[in-house]
Amino acid sequence: MSPLSKCIILVAIIVSAIAACKKESVDADIKLTEADNGKLISVTRGETIAVTAGDPGDSGYQTIDPKFDATVLTLNSRSHQNPKNPKMLGDFGTNTWKFTAISTGKTTLKIPAVRGANTDTLWVFSNQITVN
């Protein structure tokens, strides 16, 4: 194998490694995480909101549909990102919910997780959203 071929293969491996490490980008006007829990958020009609929170699956909880006023926000999508290190115990990755502010008003956006027969609820995220 020629030195040029080896160099090309090495560059391809490096580029692939960098691409694999790239963090998934969340496309939204407002990006919220668990650190924003409990804050008052103000957005403009038409803006998008992304909420990213850890998956609480390690304790048997499963997230269910978010609770919010559907006349103020609409849920566009929900996605799951696997953990960065799948061998780490207790890391079930993250979930991201994307919303659009569709009309003026206020709503409490809550993301619940339940275990068992839906009797034990954990609030993964809870926030007051005002749409102007």
User: Higher model confidence: residue 112 or residue 9?
Assistant: 112
User: What is the value of pTM for the model shown?
Assistant: 0.75
Domain span at residue 53 reads: 27-131
Say if strands 120-131 and 40-43 run parallel, antiparallel, or are unpaired: parallel
In a domain, 18, yes or no: no
* Spatial CA neighbour of 58 closest among 115, 118, 119: 115
Total tally of structural domains belonging to the chain? 1
In a domain, 119, yes or no: yes
CB 129 within 8 A of CB 101: yes
Angle at 66 between CA 53 and CA 27, to 5 degrees: 55
In a domain, 84, yes or no: yes
What CATH number has the domain bearing residue 92? 2.60.40.2020
Residue 97, token pair as written in the block: 């919910």
User: Higher model confidence: residue 47 or residue 118?
Assistant: 47
